[in-house]
Amino acid sequence: MGKVRVYDHFINGKWVKAKEDTAILRHHPANGELIAKYPNGTAQEMEQAIEAAKEAFHGEWPEWSPKERSRLLLEISRRIRNNLDRLAEIESEEVGKPIDLARGDVMGAADHFEYAAALTRDLVGETHLLDQNLSAIVVREPVGVVGLITPWNFPIGILCQKLPYALATGNTVVVKPSEFTSSTTFELAAIAYEAGLPPGVMNVVSGYGNVVGNALVSSDDVDKVSFTGSTVTGRKILEAAAGNIKKVSLELGGKSPSIVFPEADLERTAEGVLHAICFMQGECCVAGSRLLVSDDIYDEFVERLVEKAEQLVIGDPSDPETKIGPMIHEKHMEKVLHYIQIGIDEGAKLVTGGTRHVDKPYDAGYFVKPTIFTDVDNSMTIARDEIFGPVLSVIRFKSEEEAIRIANDTPYGLAASIWTTELDRAFRVAKKVRAGTIWINGHLNAYPELPFGGYKASGLDREMGRHGIESFTEVKTIQFHHAEKR
Ligand code: NAD
């Protein structure tokens, strides 16, 4: 067994021991070994962290010039890159994600800090010359104390879709990482502090959502909450945030369609749509979990897809050859297998996968084989619920109109991909599908420059890009009433 990582809360620039001695234990999802212990935080510890963030907000930090903040963000980015191997190994081990993907996430985190460092020096307002005697400026100011709540699937990646932008605009933050994957959030707090972030500007309290998460969201001293997680929790957060009318940004679940038209390059498309569902073993908010295929090519396309799915290497996430790692924990694996059973019971045709992968030496891990159902009707449970595993529902369509209707027939609206070589069709369909991100002949890529977020039950607000940084600001209008000439 390797070394077990043990953490305390990080509050006001110091490691603070948790009152509860019942730490949250994290086991490796591929082999069951104990790998980390996180503090099981209490509401009082969360209050302590909020108090530290509040005090820091009334200190020097919001007065730092954009140039000073920018330099610090660049320094944090440099230190993240210097720690690439270590951070990526931790993420791969705790999440069960293939190591190359974990490395990409860490590099992406550093990239967010660099982009936010650039934006903070170019956050401009407005000027209005309204009358001879009246002018006004519109300025952006920090919101105040911001709570950041993250899920388990991209711990450092999603944290860094929020944190650098919150810091770039002069806010102070309290982070509540997922109780399954808290390590890299603590590691990042230490990195940021060593890089020169003043005490209290970034605090981390780990623990369960209904305890510390709820204490963060319901506190009257918190001005904004930026949350990424399930739609079910998102609704609770909206309710809890109502007390002091705090600002809320929500990045929630999805049931994204990949739409394949008959003229598409079928080889490239088959690889692309398979990647869209199997990336991160399907535990991804934008997973292309509904595959809409034109009737003209349906059988041929499914055949190609099944062949490729059966070649994907399932196994140890630390092995660069691995494409499919384990599910995050046993309960989640059971949930995914339960959905597969529902698919069978409701009459969908299981064409590959459908079971746990128990080949030695992976029999102690929570692996599910890439699974494809055909003959799926969009009203079936497997086409409606977010399964969050490598389970693909293939749905047939006969016309462009029907494809758009099925694509939009979902409570979600996070993303969609359109696979076609006809430019006019690509634009036509992209405009009609109601989702926050549309990829044409691609699926999954995200860049700090591009805003990201969902329509409908997939969320509120946007992260990243100019929209993302602006969402961590308040807008203030200052009017100048000039005296009449005497
Ligand atoms: P989750 O909603 O169970 O938990 C997310 C976070 O919220 C965790 O830190 C959890 O402890 C906390 N939490 C739980 N209950 C809370 C409460 N009452 N108050 C405050 N905080 C609470 O989600 P998860 O299982 O960790 O992540 C998977 C979900 O996240 C999927 O639905 C996925 O689609 C979604 N997700 C969305 C995006 C996106 O960008 N839209 C990205 C990644 C994941």
Q: HEC string of the chain?
A: CCCCEECCEEECCEEECCCCCCCEEEECCCCCCEEEEECCCCHHHHHHHHHHHHHHHCCCHHHCCHHHHHHHHHHHHHHHHHCHHHHHHHHHHHHCCCHHHHHHHHHHHHHHHHHHHHHHCCCCCEEEEEECCEEEEEEEEECCEEEEECCCCCHHHHHHHHHHHHHHCCCEEEEECCCCCCHHHHHHHHHHHHHCCCCCCEEECCCCHHHHHHHHHHCCCCCEEEEECCHHHHHHHHHHCCCCCCEEEEECCCCCEEEECCCCCHHHHHHHHHHHHHHHHHCCCCCCCEEEEECCCHHHHHHHHHHHHCCCCECCCCCCCCCECCCCCHHHHHHHHHHHHHHHHCCCEEEECCCECCCCCCCCCCCECCEEEECCCCCCHHHHCCCCCCEEEEEEECCHHHHHHHHHCCCEECEEEEECCCHHHHHHHHHHCCCCEEEECCCCCCCCCCCECCEECCEECCECHHHHHHCCEEEEEEEEECCCCC
Residue 19: predicted pLDDT:
84
The reported pLDDT for the residue numbered 22 is 87
176 lines ligand 1 (CB under 6 A): yes
Residue nearest to atom 14 of ligand 1 (CA): 209
Task: Report the separation in Å between the CA atom of 10 and the middle of ligand 1, taken as the mean of its atom positions.
Answer: 21
Tell me whether the omega of the peptide bond preceding residue 320 falls within 30 degrees of 0, making it cis: no
Which domains does the chain show, CATH number per domain? 5-252+458-476 (3.40.605.10), 257-440 (3.40.309.10)
The C-alpha angle with vertex 407 and arms to 403 and 410, in degrees rounded to 5, equals: 145
The pLDDT of residue 486 is 65
Considering 51, 285, 386, 463, which one is annotated as catalytic? 285
Give Cβ neighbours of residue 279 (< 8 Å, ≥ 6 apart): 101, 287, 444
User: Which atom of ligand 1 is nearest to 328's Cα?
Assistant: 25
Whether the CB-CB separation of 16 and 135 falls below 8 Å is answered with no
Task: Tell me which residue has its CA closest to atom 12 in ligand 1.
Answer: 209
In the numeric block, which tokens belong to residue 208?
Answer: 């369960």
User: Rounded to an integer, what distance in angstroms lies between the CA atom of residue 48 and that of residue 165?
Assistant: 24
Ligand 1 atom nearest to CA at 232? 2
Q: Which atom of ligand 1 is nearest to the CA of 234?
A: 2
Q: Is 463 in the pocket of ligand 1 (CB under 6 A)?
A: no
Whether residue 151 has its Cβ less than 6 Å from ligand 1: yes
Tens of pLDDT along the chain (486 residues)?
568 999 999 999 999 999 877 899 999 999 999 999 999 999 999 999 999 999 999 999 999 999 999 999 999 999 999 999 999 999 999 999 999 999 999 999 999 999 999 999 999 999 999 998 999 999 999 999 999 999 999 999 999 999 999 999 999 999 999 999 999 999 999 999 999 999 999 999 999 999 999 999 999 999 999 999 999 999 999 999 999 999 999 999 999 999 999 999 999 999 999 999 999 999 999 999 999 999 999 999 999 999 999 999 999 999 999 999 999 999 999 999 999 999 999 999 999 999 999 888 888 999 999 999 999 999 999 999 999 999 999 999 999 999 999 999 999 999 999 999 999 999 999 999 999 999 999 999 999 999 999 999 999 999 999 999 999 999 999 999 988 766
**Of 60, 161, 140, 88, the residue nearest 453 (C-alpha):** 161
Ligand 1 pocket check for 468: Cβ under 6 Å = no
CA torsion angle 229 233 238 244 (round to 10)? -90
Query: Ligand 1 centre and the CA of 210: distance in Å?
Result: 12
401 is catalytic: no
User: 32: which 2 tokens?
Assistant: 């069951």
Tell me the CA–centroid distance for residue 233 and ligand 1, in Å. Answer: 6
Closest residue to atom 22 of ligand 1, CA basis = 209
Rounded to an integer, what distance in angstroms lies between the CA atom of residue 279 and that of residue 272? Answer: 10
| Residue 178 alpha carbon to ligand 1 centre in Å | 8
- Residue 458 neighbours by CB under 8 Å, 6+ apart: 231, 251, 252, 253, 254, 285, 412, 413, 414, 435, 436
The active-site residue, picked from 251, 283, 386, 463, is: 251
Amino acid at 457: A
Q: Look at strands 257-260 and 290-294 and give their pairing.
A: parallel
Amino acid, single-letter form, for residue 67: K
Q: For atom 18 of ligand 1, which residue has the closest CA?
A: 210
Distance CA 314, CA 368 (A): 9
| CA atoms of 417 and 442, how far apart (whole Å) | 6
Measured from the CB, is residue 178 less than 6 Å from ligand 1?
A: yes
Question: Is the CB of 209 inside a 6 Å radius of any atom of ligand 1?
Answer: yes
Which two tokens mark 191?
């990195």
453 Cβ closer than 6 Å to some ligand 1 atom? no
Q: Based on the number of CB atoms within 10 Å of its own CB, is 147 exposed (0-12), middle (13-18) or buried (19 or more)?
A: buried
Active site residue 55: no
Cα separation of 339 and 381, whole Å? 8
Contact between 382 and 373 under an 8 Å Cβ cutoff? The reply is yes
pTM for the model stands at: 0.97
Whether 207 is in the pocket of ligand 1, judged by its Cβ within 6 Å, is no
Q: What's residue 483's pLDDT? A: 82
Residue with tokens 């980390």: 36
HEC per residue, 265-320 = CHHHHHHHHHHHHHHHHHCCCCCCCEEEEECCCHHHHHHHHHHHHCCCCECCCCCC
